[in-house]
A and B are shown apart, each in its own frame.
Chain A
Amino acid sequence: MLSVFFLKSKRRRDWRTWFGAGLWFALLLALVLYGLIGTRLFLLSTLGTVFMYVVLTQAWNILGGYGGYLNFGMVTFFGTGAYTSAILFHYFGLSPFLTAPVAGLAAAIAGLLIGIPTLRLRGAYFALVTMIVTLAVQILALNLPYTQGALGIYMQPIGLTPLNVERLFYFLFLALAILVTLLVYAIERSNIGGALVAIREDEDAAEIIGVRTTEVKWIANAVACFIAGVVGALYAQRIMYIEPTGTFQFDISLNTVLMAVIGGPGTWQGPLIGAPLVLLVADMLRVTFTSEVNRAIFSVIVIIIALYIPGGVMGVLERWRRRNRRKALSTADEAIPGPAV
């Protein structure tokens, strides 16, 4: 249906490129080392959560950042995955580690159910419907016979010490974060990424030059939902108990949007910057404020970024870099398209 191939990067490689790559590798090495020798439970579990959000935000980034179709209900697919694995465990005794791909599949199917009618259309239909569906799915989870309603589902504890459990999820989510980041990096460098950016910038023009816009959007959405579902399954095992209001909490949707928007949507670095930043601020705020105040503060940040700093941190960096280069060349003949929100 679609052929996938890589595009040649036109960007010249100089010492800065290698320096950047080196920094990322050093960071990765430090994280792996800390995971091996670190003993502070709090830090391990916080970093595990950061990696989890990196995965979710990267998934969101595929369609939302590159394609410009915003998913305001990431938690729907996350929760679908969590519930799928929980139900499979509860009724068939299967471990979520085994059923995570199944959970991802269930979430991808949910994504297709929502994506097929809404992504055929332009505009905000997808955003609106994803926003609306969360509450409906939560109500379904509360009332369907096999989700045990508000009672929730307990998972089997893993027979390890708390520290080792956290370490396990630390590495699981770290590995997933690396994998998904590599995937997004590959997408950015492939024709699919180009197609998504073309859809974001001008969908009519994209269609005219032969991009199969609808199919590309469907696939991007299904892949994102698959990832969210896998994360949801692991999350269910991690907290060992899921129930509708906690699993389908709106904060997860808000956080993914926030992290992507702050870090810089449509770049593979954006989620890597946004996720730790947001969680750091959230943890600092949590000490002094209730979660509602917290949410209000974050929503104000979202508005401010949308109004004044489109492109987030990466957008600012890109603009700065472009200005420097222009100064150096003093002939501004190459224009690099910056990411929109």
Chain B
Amino acid sequence: MLNQIATIIADGILLGLIYAIAGVGLSLILGIMGIVNVAHSAFIMLGSFFAFELFRRFSVDPIVSFFLAFPVFFAAGVMVYRALITRVELAPQTQGLVAMFGLMVLLESLGTIAWTTDTRVITAAYTNRSVLVGPVMLANVKLIAGALALLMIVVFWAFLRYTLTGRAIRAMGQNRFAAMTVGVNVRRLSAVMFGLGIACAGSAGVTLGMVFPFSPNTQILWLAWAFLVVILGGLGNVANTLLSGLVVGLIQTGVAALLPFDYVYLALYVMLAVILVIRREGLSGAVRRQI
């Protein structure tokens, strides 16, 4: 019994790390730029397929893909920013939402055209192996994915906290116009920030692809998890996002142990509703700023 609980907790923490990395990008883009990136999970899906294709064609290990995904998706993010976001930044929020919704559908249908709706898995050498840590059996992939996610989150946190660019980005998040007056190049930094958020999504996709089966048309589920992490943790704060990711992971493994698999989604929605009701104006960042 105790063993079982320990397994649930360990599993929950590893899962939570993965959820946290899925949420970080969404949280930063929403918190700092005020953009509701509904296409976030589509980029996560593309990240998974990025690793899948590299693995299948060139047998590149997913761990390597994780680091490769970052620059690739950063570039993609900057491109999306230049092509799409700059045009709707000052328009009413609904207009930006519709555009991002279109982007999400576009990416999903392109994914379906390229890879069909089949469910895929990445089977590296260490998949299906596990190690015994004390009394707890842990799957290797989860350990690796969790470690990568943690590394990424820590790097992100340090970047925002200690580098000049990071500070400028945070300043922009606090007050865009004040940051502009003191000489922050808001345009360029917004592009960087959006690129970083998408890069995060891509890398998160790689870690998710290592652990879970994936297909283009179920990507929206990741949006649900990422969104849950974000509203629980608040916006634009990496440390809080990590914490809320862990909480969500623990709740999920806890619920999954008690209920049949399919009701996890019901629990997810109930959680979402409860948090939204309790944290009413907790997301002040998004309330103040529009796209």
* B-binding residues in A (CB < 8 A): 68, 70, 72, 113, 117-118, 120-125, 127-129, 131-136, 139-140, 142-143, 200, 250, 254, 257, 261, 290, 292-293, 295-296, 298-303, 305-307, 310, 340-341
Given contacts A132-B272, A303-B106, 12 further A-B contacts (CB under 8 A): A68-B92, A72-B101, A117-B273, A117-B276, A124-B286, A132-B220, A143-B262, A200-B92, A293-B113, A295-B109, A303-B103, A306-B96
Interface contacts (Cβ under 8 Å), in number, total: 141
Beyond A302-B101, A306-B98, whether A129 also contacts B272 by CB under 8 A is yes
Q: Which of A72, A123, A136 contacts B287 (CB 8 A)?
A: A123
In angstroms, how far is the closest chain A Cβ from the Cβ of B291?
A: 9
Q: Which of A128, A142, A295 contacts B223 (CB 8 A)?
A: A128
Beyond A131-B220, A299-B102, whether A136 also contacts B269 by CB under 8 A is yes
Complex CA gap A128/B220 in Å reads 10
Residues 131-186 (chain B) with a chain A CB within 8 angstroms: none
Instruction: Decide if B92 touches A341 in the complex (CB within 8 Å).
Output: yes
Q: Which of B88, B93, B99, B272 contacts A124 (CB 8 A)?
A: B93
The answer to the question of B74 belonging to the interface, with a C-beta cut-off of 8 Å to chain A, is: no
Q: Which of A113, A292, A310 contacts B112 (CB 8 A)?
A: A292
Q: Which 4 pairs across A and B sit closest by C-beta, in order of nearness?
A: A302-B102, A299-B105, A124-B36, A306-B99
Complex CA gap A307/B223 in Å reads 24
* A-binding residues in B (CB < 8 A): 36, 38, 84, 87-88, 91-99, 101-106, 109-110, 112-113, 217-218, 220-221, 223-224, 227, 231, 262, 265-266, 268-269, 272-274, 276-277, 280-281, 283, 286-287, 290
Instruction: Decide if A341 touches B98 in the complex (CB within 8 Å).
Output: yes
Q: What residues of B have a CB within 8 angstroms of the CB of A296 in the complex? A: 105-106, 109-110, 113
Q: Which residue of chain B has its CB nearest to the CB of A65?
A: B94
Q: Which of A132, A134, A306 contacts B227 (CB 8 A)?
A: A132
Q: What residues of B have a CB within 8 angstroms of the CB of A307 in the complex? A: 84, 87-88, 99
Q: What residues of B have a CB within 8 angstroms of the CB of A142 in the complex? A: 262
